[in-house]
């Protein structure tokens, strides 16, 4: 008998046994259903969160370095207190950086405050008012949807012009053309010269599109006289990121007149810090989920093994007859392995059937994606669990002595 015939025969007999004991087969799969449901929902949530996270931090730019007084990742109050006492970054330091850096294509000092923005009787609250230069567009990895960005002459002359985010444009103009209109930021009037492309929300749920960018001299004159600047440095080539970071660190130490043994009194931040933090959190969630999944599958596997031993005992005489008429050990082994794997696969399919509507429900509260990869992993896990759980009962059946098996009543 060739292998394909053995496989076909094993499938036929196995599914016949499962259909003959429908209720027992379904009850046996409960542990597998819970395990597959857990691994599917966990994979769905993590994959959805990962996609949403990468999208939300994409505006930070993989090739942009951010110099600030305080590190983005602070893990203790002591660190915070130490950093908050550092000297602020100044506009003169940003200008000196631009002169010294050779691996940067743009250096953009920025500062921001929160103010309401008005247009006629419409209002957009808690708008992030950013004071920037003409290089902010390139360094901030932004795109213009309508109009243009701030020009060098407008920045140098401190003209009352602004570029607004898509959310501000929607709130104030409700689909109408925003260009050329004058909006009131705080108590000052600014002409809208551009609207930014939609960028989405950040990690805390705040919208990156809820901003208005004005020339830095206007910002310093009317909103914050001595701001604590954030300096954005766009690296010429991504592969030069680490070299650019070291060049930036050396330049900042010289500019801030730090001695050889003095610690840095500034922070250089980048996108990778958020990515690493997210992967640590996601790894912890995955570890907890895998433990729960493993526990469920272990319990389910024990149940499958127990039922398969019972099935072998009930069909001892059938095994004896098949071996007496020439069935090989591998044929008997394959038959019971297929039966165990089929029961687990049935549990996996039930688990996926339950996971699908739950995923749709999850999407109302968090990003969740039931991708083909997650489905494939769930089905493979179910099959592997079935093969491992059914191996010992199948091995016992395959090694039965046909004479002893035929004597069984």
Over the stretch 347-385, which tens digit does the pLDDT of each residue have? 888 888 898 888 888 888 777 778 888 888 888 888 888
Confidence at residue 206, expressed as pLDDT on a 0 to 100 scale: 58
Reply yes or no on whether the pLDDT at 20 is more than 80. Answer: no
Quote the radius of gyration of the chain (alpha carbons, Å). Answer: 33
pLDDT band at residue 255 under the 50/70/90 scheme: very high
- Facing residues of 117 across strands? 124, 185
Confidence at residue 214, expressed as pLDDT on a 0 to 100 scale: 95
pLDDT band at residue 147 under the 50/70/90 scheme: very high
End-to-end Cα distance, the chain: 29
pLDDT digits (tens, 9 = 90+) for 185-200: 988 999 999 999 988 7
Task: Find, among 269, 276, 270, the residue nearest to 53 by Cα.
Answer: 276
Reply yes or no on whether the pLDDT at 313 is more than 90. Answer: no
Determine the Cα–Cα distance for residues 331 and 358; give it in Å rounded to an integer. Answer: 40
Decide: helix, strand or coil at residue 161: strand
Residue 261, Cβ neighbours under 10 Å: how many?
Answer: 5
- Percentage of the chain with pLDDT > 70? 89
- Facing residues of 235 across strands? 104
Reply yes or no on whether the pLDDT at 56 is more than 70. Answer: no
Reply yes or no on whether the pLDDT at 166 is more than 80. Answer: yes
β-strand pairing of 122-132 with 211-215:
parallel
Reply yes or no on whether the pLDDT at 6 is more than 60. Answer: no
Q: Is 164 exposed, middle or buried (0-12, 13-18, 19+ CB in 10 A)?
A: buried
In this structure, are residues 191 and 162 in contact, taking their beta carbons and an 8 Å threshold? yes
Task: Find, among 203, 212, 205, 117, the residue nearest to 166 by Cα.
Answer: 212
Determine the Cα–Cα distance for residues 281 and 269; give it in Å rounded to an integer. Answer: 19
- Percentage of the chain with pLDDT > 90? 33
Degrees to nearest 5, angle at CA 6 with 3 and 12: 145
User: CB-side exposure of 28: number of CA atoms within 13 Å?
Assistant: 29
């Amino acid at each position: 008998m060739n292998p394909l015939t053995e496989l076909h025969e094993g499938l036929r007999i196995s599914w016949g046994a499962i259909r003959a004991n429908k209720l027992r087969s379904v009850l046996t799969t409960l542990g597998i259903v819970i395990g597959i449901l857990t691994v599917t929902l966990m994979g769905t949530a993590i994959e959805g969160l990962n996609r949403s996270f990468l999208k939300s931090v994409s505006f930070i730019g993989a090739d942009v370095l951010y110099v600030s007084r305080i590190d983005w990742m602070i893990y203790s109050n002591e660190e915070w207190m130490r950093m908050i006492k550092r000297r602020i970054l100044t506009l003169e330091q940003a200008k000196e950086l631009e002169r010294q850096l050779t691996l940067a294509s743009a250096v953009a000092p920025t500062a921001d405050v929160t103010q309401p923005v008005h247009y006629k009787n419409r209002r957009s609250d808690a708008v992030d008012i950013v004071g920037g230069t003409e290089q902010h567009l390139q360094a901030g990895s932004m795109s213009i949807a309508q109009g243009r960005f701030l020009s060098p002459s407008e920045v140098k002359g401190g003209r009352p012009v602004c570029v607004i985010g898509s959310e501000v444009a929607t709130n104030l103009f409700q689909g109408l053309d925003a260009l050329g209109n004058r909006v009131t930021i705080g108590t000052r009037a600014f002409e809208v010269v551009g609207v930014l492309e939609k960028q989405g929300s950040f990690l805390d749920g705040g919208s990156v599109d809820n901003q208005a960018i004005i020339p830095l001299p206007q910002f310093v004159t009317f909103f914050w006289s001595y701001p604590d600047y954030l300096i954005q440095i766009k690296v010429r080539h991504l592969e030069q990121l680490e070299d650019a970071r070291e060049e930036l660190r050396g330049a900042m130490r010289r500019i801030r007149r730090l001695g050889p043994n003095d610690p840095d009194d500034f922070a250089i931040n980048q996108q990778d810090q958020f990515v690493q933090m997210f992967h640590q959190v996601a790894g912890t969630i995955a570890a907890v989920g895998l433990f729960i999944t493993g526990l469920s599958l272990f319990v389910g596997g024990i149940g499958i093994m127990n039922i398969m031993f019972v099935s072998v005992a009930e069909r001892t005489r059938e095994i004896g007859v098949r071996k007496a008429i020439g069935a090989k050990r591998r044929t008997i082994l394959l038959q019971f392995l297929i039966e165990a794997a089929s029961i687990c696969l049935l549990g996996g399919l039930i688990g996926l059937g339950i996971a699908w509507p739950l995923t749709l429900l999850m999407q109302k509260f968090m990003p969740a994606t039931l991708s083909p990869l997650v489905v494939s992993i769930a089905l493979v896990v179910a099959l592997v669990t079935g093969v491992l759980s059914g191996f010992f009962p199948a091995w016992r059946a395959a090694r039965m002595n046909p004479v002893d098996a035929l004597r069984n009543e």
